Amino acid sequence: MTETSHTVDTLEAAGIFQGFERDELERIVARGQAIEFQEAAVLFREGDRAEGFHIVLSGSVRLMKTLPHVGDEAMAFAQTGDFFGEMALIDDMPRSATAVAHEDCRVFILRKADFLDLTYSDPALGCKVLWALCRTFSRRLRETTERFSTLFTISRAF
């Protein structure tokens, strides 16, 4: 199996790209690159300029947030097929967390400039990716709202 084929297979299984045609995924893969990181390597740091969207092809990545008076705290783990950093494709805000290779891993990166080029050169596919991002943002916002609701309910009990 070629590297491109493996990357397309992983994107096909990733939740954000479900329903995409294989040729569409191949066009997305052609715009990005797969990079290997050794365990403990920093992919990016909180506060860095956000330059791309990441999908874990193998291994895992730990996403951490620096908390006042606490230090670095793991917020999530991204494993094969999981994605993170998608806000970098939309806004120009700095990274909101630090990403560290939890173990040796391969990560597909679609840089913002390449994504924008894709949206201009292939508008139908660019629009499809944007809708996928919108669904992701909506789902994550609903999950966050539910968590806050739960926290407020718990806090009122005390």
Q: Whole-angstrom Cα distance, residue 22 to residue 9?
A: 9
Q: Whole-angstrom Cα distance, residue 64 to residue 155?
A: 25
pLDDT tens digits, 51-82: 899 999 999 999 998 888 777 778 889 999 88
Please give the residue range of the domain that contains residue 151.
3-156
CA-to-CA separations, 70 to 42, 66, 67, 73, in angstroms, rounded:
20, 8, 5, 8
Q: Whole-angstrom Cα distance, residue 102 to residue 62?
A: 5
**pLDDT at residue 158, rounded to an integer:** 64
pLDDT at residue 155 greater than cutoff 80: no
**pLDDT at residue 157, rounded to an integer:** 67
C-alpha triplet 11, 12, 17: angle, nearest 5°:
75
At residue 39 the predicted structure's pLDDT band, cuts being 50, 70 and 90, is: very high
pLDDT tens digits, 98-137: 999 999 999 999 999 999 999 999 999 999 998 988 888 8
Looking at residue 50, the DSSP 8-state letter turns out to be P
The CATH code of the domain that includes 132 is 2.60.120.10
Phi, psi of 36 (to 5 degrees): -95, 140
At residue 1 the predicted structure's pLDDT band, cuts being 50, 70 and 90, is: low
Is the pLDDT higher at 18 or at 152? 18
Q: Which residues contact 30 (CB under 8 A, 6 or more apart)?
A: 4
Number of domains making up the chain? 1
Q: Whole-angstrom Cα distance, residue 51 to residue 113?
A: 8
